Amino acid sequence: MGSRQIPIKRATSAGYRIPDRTTTKLTSTSSVSLGHAGTNHSPVLSNKEKQAWGDAVRKDHVWREFVEAERRGEKKWHENWSFLKEYDALGNKKEIEKLPEQVPVFSDQIPNTTNQNIGSRINTDLGKNLVHMDFVLTSGNQKKRLGTELLPC
């Protein structure tokens, strides 16, 4: 029962070797690992741990730079390309249609079901014909009772 581990070469079912896993320490540390009463850990951060926390600050700085670059790109797009949204593909000026002030929740043309999903008017003649055609076309794929000669013993 020693602490020494025997390295086992890993392989896939196809037979080629998989590279060994790296056993490096994580760069981040939790506040729990910095020190407890009764342990030998010092609350002072080592140089490596300071770099890890510095990386978090650097990542935040990089993120802020990306956000600023996105804002600059948006302003540049409005200066150079925003005219495109005012014209259609043929170069004609688009007419801005005014939206209604209030839209009713329930529609006269599209039915709402009890759980507020849009209905499909399946009870109409067209809906019944579609269901019948679907049944006729897919009936060959449905489970059927086997004949007595095909039943297992």
The answer to whether residue 68 is domain-embedded is: yes
Could you tell me if residue 109 is inside a domain?
no
Domain of 80 in residue numbering reads as 52-92
Average pLDDT (21-29) is: 57
Q: What percent of the chain has pLDDT over 90?
A: 12
Q: Tally Cβ neighbours within 10 Å of residue 49.
A: 15
CA–CA separation, 69 and 33 (whole Å): 37
CA 33, 35, 36, 40 dihedral sign is positive
71 in any annotated domain: yes
pLDDT of residue 25: 60
- Into how many domains does the chain fold? 1
Q: What is the pLDDT of residues 81-95, one digit of tens each?
A: 888 888 888 889 988
Residue 61 located in a structural domain: yes
Q: Is the residue at 5 inside a domain? A: no
Tell me whether residue 63 is in a domain. Answer: yes
Q: Is residue 75 part of a domain?
A: yes
Kindly report, residue by residue over 55-75, the tens digit of the pLDDT. 888 888 889 999 999 999 999
| Domain presence at residue 42 | no
Q: Which residue bears the tokens 């070797």? A: 17
Across all residues in the chain, what is the average pLDDT? 73
